[in-house]
């Protein structure tokens, strides 16, 4: 068990001191560097709080027992060869996972960009990917609802 | 030793002054200022003030010396080639600083360079896209930029002065897609969204137009604005033959909208004035569907560039906070790819 305040809280406090107390004392030409430092601290803070990008849906897709990197690698390989394109259900499922991955990463790296694009309700607007099976592995999956592709 | 002297050293100034005098047929040249200008990650721009006695530039001149940075990237032109492209653009009536002289002689500046006139104005994209005082002029600037781009695209092969530019087949979408995948194969982390976007590109390649001179980095940040006037199109290092829609897609790509994501033409205006300026100058019609293809490609390309910047930190060992963060911008490009290609979106938990 770690002591309190925890890492994210310490980073938040340190960032606040940096931006409100130290930044005005720096010469103007070094202030952009201090803002970059603050940005790094904010990302580290959010990554410590939110953890890794979601892997739940990928595990439904490919099954348990593989590390996240390998799941992502496999997903990427299958996307490259268009493995999800033969079935509208698989296509919708793949897109849902892509959205999930992207929004989760941006919540950590750039929540202001998400907000600027209308994704500004953490915990609200992001839907779960529908469970499905890998078109390559042909593992059993939960049947998918029919959703029309937008392409 | 001349090869290692600082650009600010007296021998370097003297050698440069002799070069300028010889090139302009002046009896003497005195360099009164030589200062590094802001911007230019891949090339260095130096503000050069000089007093010419006689010759073609007689009097006080405000110039820019543009040299290669210490480390370049393979895709960019040499300074001599960039000089030739800029000359062709200047001759075609593009608003570009007049290029004057070029040199590969290492004793002069340590690296190849060329000299051009210095145009007034600002290029800072955050300022251009957020300065309320500029706001009323921005649609007009967008229209003007459309016309400038059409003039660039009026330069067409074959051109003996631009024979060094790669043929279109070497820079077209098929080759770019292969390059993207080769990069992702080397990258330590999988990028499923980029793979998906590249797959879409691969299966939606439009028929190509007759090749034109593309700037290949025509965007907010690479032109100068002085009041309501566009005073220079800058940074020609990636120019090459290509499809005209590629430059239009790059200009409108979300990554180059800075403070105003809602203004689809470079963060400064709606597309309408930009397209109007282009179509009036070119006499042709922009194919909106082709622009969409190139806009998706632009987002993929920018994501690759962002990841490569962080590689310079992670793999190349450059200790740079900005570079270390740039790779995360790829996430923004991936969101844009999804928004462009999956408008309904699977994110809305239908």
Domain locations in chain A?
Answer: 7-50, 53-151
> Inter-chain contact A101–B192, Cβ cutoff 8 Å?
yes
Q: Which residues contact A2 (CB under 8 A, 6 or more apart)?
A: none
Q: Are B276 and B321 in contact (CB under 8 A)?
A: no
Asked whether residue B20 falls in the same domain as residue B89, the answer is yes
Burial class for B116, CB neighbours closer than 10 Å (0-12, 13-18, 19+) = buried
Cβ contacts of B35 within 8 Å, gap of 6 or more: B46, B47
Q: In terms of domains, do B106 and B225 share one? A: no
Residue B281 and residue B189 share a domain = yes
> Which has the higher per-residue pLDDT, A70 or B277?
B277
Helix (H) or strand (E) holding A8: helix A7-17
Q: Summarize the confidence of residues B220-228 as an average pLDDT.
A: 96
For residue range B289-341, list pLDDT tens digits in order. Answer: 999 999 999 999 999 999 998 888 787 777 888 888 999 999 999 999 999 99
> Do A109 and B196 make contact, defined as CB atoms within 8 angstroms?
no
Facing residue for A109 by CB, picked from B195, B328, B343 = B328
First-to-last alpha carbon distance for chain B, in angstroms, is 70
CATH number, domain with residue B206: 3.90.1200.10
pLDDT at residue B159 in the model: 97
Would an 8 Å CB–CB cutoff place A38 in contact with chain B? no
- CB of B184 within 8 Å of any CB in chain A? yes
Q: Where are the beta strands (DSSP E) in chain B?
A: 28-36, 43-53, 59-68, 99-103, 113-117, 212-214, 223-226, 229-233, 240-242
Q: Nearest CA to B163 among B105, B233, B104, B85?
A: B85
- Distance in angstroms (rounded) separating the CA atoms of residues B203 and A92: 18
Average confidence (pLDDT) over B94-109: 93
Contact B190, A73 (CB under 8 A): yes
pLDDT tens string B141-197: 999 999 999 999 999 999 999 999 988 878 899 999 999 999 999 998 999 999 999
pLDDT in the model for residue A134: 65
The total domain count for chain B is: 2
Q: Containing domain of residue B192, as a range?
A: 125-348
- At residue B275, the pLDDT reads 98
- Helices B244-252, B288-314: inter-axial angle, 10-degree rounding: 70
Q: Which residue has the tokens 């959703």?
A: A147
The answer to whether B36 faces chain A, any CB pair under 8 Å, is no
pLDDT band at B117, cuts 50/70/90? very high
Q: Does A124 score more than 60 pLDDT? A: no
Stronger pLDDT, B209 or B297, i.e. the higher one: B297
Answer whether residue A123 shows pLDDT above 80.
Answer: no
Q: Using CA atoms, how far apart are residues A123 and A104, in angstroms rounded to an integer?
A: 10
Least CB–CB distance from A147: residue in B193, B328, B350: B350
Same domain as B156, residue B13: no
For B346, the closest of A43, A92, A119 (CB atoms) is: A92
CA distance B211 to B188: 36
> Across-strand partners of B229?
B226
CA torsion B299→B313→B324→A45, rounded to 10°? Answer: 130
Q: Which of B181, B182, B196, B321 is best to mutate for the A interface (most A CBs within 10 A)? A: B196
Q: Is A39 on the interface with B (CB under 8 A)?
A: yes
Q: From the CB of residue A104, how many other CB atoms can be counted at a distance below 10 Å?
A: 18
Return the sign of the alpha-carbon dihedral for residues B227, B231, B237, B242. positive
For residues B208 and B257, membership in a common domain is answered with yes
Last residue of a domain, one of B72, B100, B117: B117
Q: What is the pLDDT of residue B121?
A: 96
Q: What is the pLDDT of residue A107?
A: 93
* pLDDT greater at residue A65 or residue B139: B139
- For chains A and B, count residue pairs whose Cβ atoms are closer than 8 Å: 109
Task: Tell which residue, B300, B199, B178, B191, has the closest CA to residue B246.
Answer: B300
Q: Is B186 on the interface with A (CB under 8 A)?
A: no
Which of B87, B117, B147 delimits the end of a domain? B117
Whole-number Å distance between alpha carbons of A110 and A124: 17
Q: What is the pLDDT of residue B158?
A: 95
Least confident span in A113-122, B116-125, B171-180, B284-293: A113-122
Q: Give the C-alpha separation, B67 to B109, whole Å.
A: 8
Q: Is B34 helix (H, G, I), strand (E, B) or coil?
A: strand
Judged by a CB distance cut-off of 8 A, whether residue A115 touches chain B is no
pLDDT on residue B41 = 63
Query: What's residue A125's pLDDT?
Result: 47
Confidence label for A63 from pLDDT (cuts 50, 70 and 90):
confident
A79 inside 8 A of chain B by CB: yes
Residues B208 and B293 both lie in one domain: yes
Q: Is B196 helix (H, G, I), strand (E, B) or coil?
A: helix
Residue B192 CB burial class (10 angstroms; 0-12, 13-18, ≥19):
buried
Mean pLDDT across the stretch B106-121? 92
Q: Let me know whether B131 and B113 are in one domain.
A: no
Whether residues B257 and B222 fall in one domain: yes
CA distance A53 to chain B (A): 12
- Percentage above 90 pLDDT, chain A: 54
Q: Quick one: average pLDDT of B270-299? A: 97
Cβ–Cβ below 8 Å for A76 and B321: no
B166, B156 contact by CB (below 8 A)? no
Q: Is the pLDDT of residue A44 over 60?
A: yes
Verify that B142 and B254 share a domain, yes or no: yes
């Amino acid at each position: 068990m770690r002591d309190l305040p925890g890492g994210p809280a310490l980073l938040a406090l340190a960032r606040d001191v940096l931006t409100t107390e130290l930044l005005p004392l720096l010469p103007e030409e070094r202030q952009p560097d201090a803002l970059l430092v603050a940005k790094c601290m904010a990302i580290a803070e959010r990554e410590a709080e939110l953890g890794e990008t979601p892997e739940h849906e990928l595990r439904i897709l490919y099954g348990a027992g593989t590390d996240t990197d390998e799941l992502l690698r496999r997903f990427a390989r299958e996307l490259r060869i268009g493995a999800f394109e033969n079935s509208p259900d698989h296509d919708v499922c793949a897109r849902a996972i892509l959205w999930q991955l992207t929004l989760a990463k941006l919540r950590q790296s750039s929540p202001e960009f998400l907000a600027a694009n209308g994704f500004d309700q953490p915990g609200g607007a992001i839907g779960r990917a529908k469970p499905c099976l890998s078109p390559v592995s042909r593992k059993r999956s939960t049947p998918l609802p029919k959703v029309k592709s937008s392409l | 030793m001349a090869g290692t002297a600082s650009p600010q050293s007296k021998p370097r100034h003297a050698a440069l002054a002799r070069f300028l005098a010889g090139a302009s047929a002046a009896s003497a040249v005195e360099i009164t200022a030589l200062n590094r200008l802001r911007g230019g990650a891949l090339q260095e721009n130096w503000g050069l003030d000089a007093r010419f006695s006689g010759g073609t530039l007689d009097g006080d001149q405000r110039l820019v010396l543009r040299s290669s940075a210490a480390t370049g990237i393979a895709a960019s032109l040499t300074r001599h080639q960039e000089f030739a492209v800029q000359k062709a653009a200047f001759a075609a009536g593009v608003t570009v600083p007049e290029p004057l002289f070029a040199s590969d002689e290492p004793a002069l500046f340590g690296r190849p360079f060329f000299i051009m006139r210095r145009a007034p104005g600002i290029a800072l994209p955050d300022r251009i896209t957020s300065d309320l005082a500029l706001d009323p002029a921005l649609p007009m600037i967008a229209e003007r930029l459309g016309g400038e781009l059409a003039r660039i695209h009026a330069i067409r092969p074959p051109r003996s002065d631009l024979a060094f530019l790669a043929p279109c087949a070497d820079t077209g979408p098929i080759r770019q897609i292969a390059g993207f995948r080769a990069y992702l194969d080397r990258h330590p982390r999988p990028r499923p969204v980029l793979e998906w976007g590249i797959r879409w590109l691969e299966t939606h390649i439009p028929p190509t137009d007759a090749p034109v001179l593309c700037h290949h980095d025509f965007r907010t940040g690479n032109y100068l604005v002085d009041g309501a006037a566009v005073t220079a199109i800058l940074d020609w290092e990636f120019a090459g033959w290509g499809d005209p829609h590629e430059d239009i897609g790059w200009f409108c790509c979300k990554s180059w909208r800075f403070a105003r994501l809602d203004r689809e033409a470079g963060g400064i205006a709606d597309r309408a004035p930009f397209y109007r300026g282009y179509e009036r100058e070119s006499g042709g019609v922009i194919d909106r569907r082709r622009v969409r293809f190139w806009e998706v490609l632009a987002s993929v390309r920018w994501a690759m560039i962002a990841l490569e910047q962080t590689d310079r930190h992670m793999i190349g060992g450059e200790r740079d906070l900005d570079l270390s963060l740039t790779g995360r911008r790829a996430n923004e490009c991936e969101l844009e790819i999804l928004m462009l290609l999956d408008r309904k979106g699977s994110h809305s938990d239908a």
